[in-house]
């Protein structure tokens, strides 16, 4: 009888524990921008982000944004940094220009490595 009560409860807790991982589907490309917007975002990353983080994202005024440099950073924290900036640094808020999904897509691209410009 106790197993009949505990097992469903344990499964429910497991489902809630796994829910945040599924909420991170943003980083699996679930909410990818349109191809035209992706091109605009890549241009923004190369030109605007690149002006501080280096055109090859290896650092400059800003920290490096290479996959190696970002590998231990939580993706959601990177999204928040893009959207809200970093107080006391030159990193501005990009919230007026980007949605949360777009910032998540940028993080996903940075974690994989910025594609070569064509």
* Domains, in order of start, for the chain: 38-118 (1.10.760.10)
Sheet strands (E) in the chain: none
Measured distance CA(101)–CA(13) in Å, rounded: 28
Answer whether residue 105 shows pLDDT above 90.
yes
Question: Which sign does the torsion angle of CA 80, 86, 92, 96 carry?
Answer: positive
Position of tokens 């923004």?
Answer: 44
> pTM here?
0.74
Answer whether residue 118 shows pLDDT above 80.
no
What's the DSSP call for residue 90? Answer: S
């Amino acid at each position: 009888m106790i197993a009949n009560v505990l097992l469903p409860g344990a499964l429910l807790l497991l489902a809630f524990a796994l829910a945040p991982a599924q909420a991170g589907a943003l980083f699996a490309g679930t909410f990818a921008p349109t191809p035209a917007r992706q091109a605009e975002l890549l241009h923004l990353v190369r030109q605007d982000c690149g002006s501080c983080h280096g055109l090859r994202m290896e650092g400059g005024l800003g920290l490096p944004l290479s996959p190696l440099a970002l590998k231990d950073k939580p993706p959601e924290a990177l999204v928040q940094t893009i959207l809200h900036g970093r107080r006391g640094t030159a990193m501005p808020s990009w919230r007026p220009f980007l949605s949360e999904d777009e910032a998540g897509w940028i993080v996903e691209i940075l974690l994989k490595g910025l594609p070569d410009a064509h």
